[in-house]
Amino acid sequence: MSLEATDDEESRPEGEHGRGNCMTSGLDLFPQAASANAQTVDQLYLAFVIASAVIVAAIFLIILVFVVRFRRREGNLVARRVKESTLVELTWSGIPLLILMGAFVWGAKIYFDEAVPPANSTEIYVVGKQWMWKLQHPEGNREINELHVPAGRPVKLVMTSEDVIHSFFIPAFRIKQDVLPGRYTQLWFQASTEGRFPLLCAEYCGTNHSRMHGWVYAMAPAEYQRWLSGEATGETMSEAGQKVFHRLACATCHARDGPPLQGLYGRRVPLSDGSVVLADDAYLRRSIVDPAAQIVRGYEPIMPTFASNATEEEILQLIAYIRSLKNLPAGSLPENVPGGTKNQNEGAANERKQQ
């Protein structure tokens, strides 16, 4: 049983037979491992399997020996006295405890590594909905139930859901992360081999939960670049975001009296309640759908919610756009802020100074 897709399977209509992981008959005990993390997890799992097998075998054997040796028969109608001892109790609770603490540290280490994506990761955005995965690359490529990634490079997914909770599960990488409505979760992996790997939904999400599946294509980096340019719509995510920015007339305020957006991403923002928040994806999303929740210090809570005006994908595009707005030298006007003219912007800045 192999996770790798076979050729004849490619030709089958998607959704009929291409549903899962294992295509050939036979019985393997491990799924294909296609990332360094998968191998690390397999090692820990194997250690657990071996340790458990030894423990179970020992317990079964001891029980077997006892029930045979101490079975009721002539000469053994009355049990014998056995001396109890605190030392024995402490031994058989203490030794397992030490072993378990070692196992805990090992498992925690893997989990930590899985939680921290490398800084140079390629970012891809995921929106789950009943019952499909929608993916966007910063370069503008969009996919459904297919995810093309460069092999040998770290890839970070920023994920959210339009409706219920889903879970993004790639067995070949041994990773899984729930995808929730109303917040961003992230997941990262680095495919070690090129190939096609199943992508599944692991959190029950309604009628077609078991059909919410797709494929991850890990490609050689050069090939991935070709794919990016070949499929591109001619519009990057931030360009798409700029259009949304236009449509929602965000500049009406943000280019004038509202909090400026240039260089905002990744900065610390002081809030009206005295706290400071990092301007990351989650903060920007919240500021768009629930602006009153976190008010930038010095501004009035006058922004309406845009929750019903922008889809989750558009919000991600907006964030990509805001992220692209770099800090500018003082006094200069960003040309890519739509709806803003130099005068208006300066005027707004002056008004604020006067206040």
Partner 1 sequence: MTNPEWITEPLAPPSYLNNGYGWRSWFLTTDHKRIALLYLISITGFFFLGGFFAMMIRLELLTPQPDLLQSDTYNRFFTMHGVIMVWFFLIPSIPTVLGNFLVPMMVGAKDLAFPRLNLLSWYLFMIGGILAFSSIVIGGVDTGWTFYTPYSTTYSNTHVLWMALGIFIAGFSSIITGLNFIITIHTMRAPGLTWFRLPLFLWSTYSTSLILVLATPVLAITLVLMGLERAFGIGIFDPALGGDPLLFQHLFWFYSHPAVYIMILPGLGVESELISTFSRRNVFGYRYVAMASVAIAVFSFLVWGHHLFVAGQSVYIALAFSFLSYLIAIPSAIKIFNWMATLYGGSISFETPMLYALFFIGLFTIGGLTGLFLAALGIDVHVTDTYFVVAHFHYIMVGGMVVAYLGGMHYWWPKISGRMYPERFGQVSAFLIFIGFNLTFFPQFILGYLGMPRRYHAYAEGFQTLNVMSTAGASILAVGYVLPLFYLAWSFFRGPLAPTNPWGATGLEWKTASPPPTENFEETPVVTEETYRFPVREEMLV
Find the binding residues for partner 1 in span 141-180 (CB under 8 A): 163-165, 167, 169, 171-172, 174-178, 180
Instruction: Map the footprint of partner 1 across residues 250-279, applying CB under 8 A.
Output: none
Tell which one of 39, 50, 144, 211 touches partner 1 (CB under 8 A): 211
Structure tokens at 342: 């130099």
> Rounded to the nearest 5°, which phi and psi values hold at 157?
-105, 130
CB closer to partner 1 out of 251 and 303 = 303
Closest CA relative to residue 125, chosen from 112, 141, 110, 109: 141
Site string for partner 1, 221-250 (x = CB under 8 A): ------------------------------
- Show Cβ contacts of residue 236 under 8 Å, excluding neighbours closer than 6 positions: 138, 139, 140, 320
CB closer to partner 1 out of 46 and 220 = 46
Burial 335-348 (b: 16+ CB within 10 A, else e): eebbebeeeebeeb
How many C-beta atoms surround the C-beta of residue 355 within 10 A?
A: 7
- Tell me how far CA of residue 255 lies from CA of 107, 245, 318, 341, 342, in angstroms: 49, 11, 15, 9, 10
Instruction: Map the footprint of partner 1 across residues 277-296, applying CB under 8 A.
Output: 290
Shortest Cβ 325–partner 1 spacing (Å): 27
Question: In the 8-state DSSP scheme, what is residue 35?
Answer: B
Tell which one of 10, 109, 276, 278 touches partner 1 (CB under 8 A): 109
Instruction: Map the footprint of partner 1 across residues 181-200, applying CB under 8 A.
Output: 181-183, 185, 198, 200
Is 62 a binding residue for partner 1 by CB under 8 A? The answer is yes
Tell which one of 20, 221, 298, 347 touches partner 1 (CB under 8 A): 20
Shortest Cβ 177–partner 1 spacing (Å): 5
Tell which one of 14, 24, 220, 249 touches partner 1 (CB under 8 A): 24
Is 4 a binding residue for partner 1 by CB under 8 A? The answer is no
Is 330 a binding residue for partner 1 by CB under 8 A? The answer is no
How many C-beta atoms surround the C-beta of residue 223 within 10 A?
A: 15
Is 96 a binding residue for partner 1 by CB under 8 A? The answer is yes
Structure tokens at 88: 């024995």
